[in-house]
């Protein structure tokens, strides 16, 4: 059983937040993993995802945004959220200095990781992973939330379900196509924004979580490793 280490780190202008580090014995990567807008780092999905990632050699640093740490309902302003992402990346690098870093998260956590990377590159982070990128609000299709992605200079992995109400694939596919080789889109049939799948799919939610983890590590091993070897 992998042990979970609790730690805290400071966010500029916003106090301290909590984090959980899960590092398997044979870790190959470390992912700074941010939560979505409505649930914190200890949500069952985040915990199960971290465990699945650990089983394929990806350590995680799950962390809280300040509003979640303080049990406020409304997310912090984008500047605070992106500052938290940067601080989490620094904390991850200090927690496991020997591991190559990735950053990303569930829904809003992934989007804020990309916004931070669009403002300026995240130190030591050669790739971003989005578990359900929230391209638009439910039933309000649009692409404004994707505009900053053109400024992200590292490869990005989009893990998306076909029933995701926050990302119409008819809009997301051209977004990824425009980003070219920097974007990899992995689609999961019948999965919604929480990666629940229909019974008719013949698959379980646990199998989908395993797919998310295995796709993440295979993408990192191929796309990111080849990039690092060239660099």
pLDDT in tens, the chain (231 residues): 577 999 999 999 899 999 999 999 999 999 999 999 999 999 999 999 999 999 999 999 999 999 999 999 999 999 999 999 999 999 999 999 989 999 999 999 999 999 999 999 999 999 999 999 999 999 999 999 999 999 999 999 999 999 999 999 999 999 999 999 999 999 999 999 999 999 999 999 999 999 999 999 999 999 987 777 775
CATH class of 4-230: alpha beta
Q: Are the beta carbons of 121 and 48 closer than 8 angstroms?
A: no
CA neighbor of 111 nearest in space, from 162, 27, 175: 175
Phi, psi of 66 (to 5 degrees): -55, -40
Q: pLDDT, tens digit, for every residue of 116-144?
A: 999 999 999 999 999 999 999 999 999 99
Query: 71-103 in b/e burial notation, b at 16+ Cβ within 10 A?
Result: eeeebbeeebbbbbbbbbbbbbbebbeebbbbb
| pTM of the model as a whole | 0.96
């Amino acid at each position: 059983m992998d042990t979970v280490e609790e730690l805290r780190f400071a966010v500029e202008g916003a106090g301290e937040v909590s984090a959980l580090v899960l590092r398997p014995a044979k870790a190959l990567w470390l992912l700074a993993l941010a939560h979505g807008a409505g649930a914190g780092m200890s949500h069952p999905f985040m915990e199960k995802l971290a465990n699945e990632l650990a089983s394929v050699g990806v350590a995680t640093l799950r962390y809280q945004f300040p509003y979640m740490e303080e049990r406020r309902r409304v997310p912090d302003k984008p500047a605070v959220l992106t500052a938290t992402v940067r601080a989490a990346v620094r904390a991850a690098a200090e927690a496991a200095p020997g591991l190559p870093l990735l950053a990303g998260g569930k829904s809003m956590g992934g989007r804020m990781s990309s916004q931070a990377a669009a403002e300026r590159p995240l130190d030591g982070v050669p790739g971003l992973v989005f578990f359900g990128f929230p391209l638009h609000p439910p039933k309000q299709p649009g692409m404004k939330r994707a505009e900053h992605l053109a400024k992200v200079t590292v490869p990005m992995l989009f893990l998306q379900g076909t029933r995701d109400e926050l990302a119409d694939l008819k809009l997301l596919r051209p977004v990824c196509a425009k980003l070219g080789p920097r974007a990899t889109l992995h689609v999961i049939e019948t999965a919604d924004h929480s990666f629940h799948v229909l019974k008719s799919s013949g698959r379980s939610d646990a199998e989908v979580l395993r797919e998310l983890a295995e796709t993440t590590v295979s993408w990192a091993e191929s796309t990111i490793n080849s990039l690092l070897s060239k660099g």
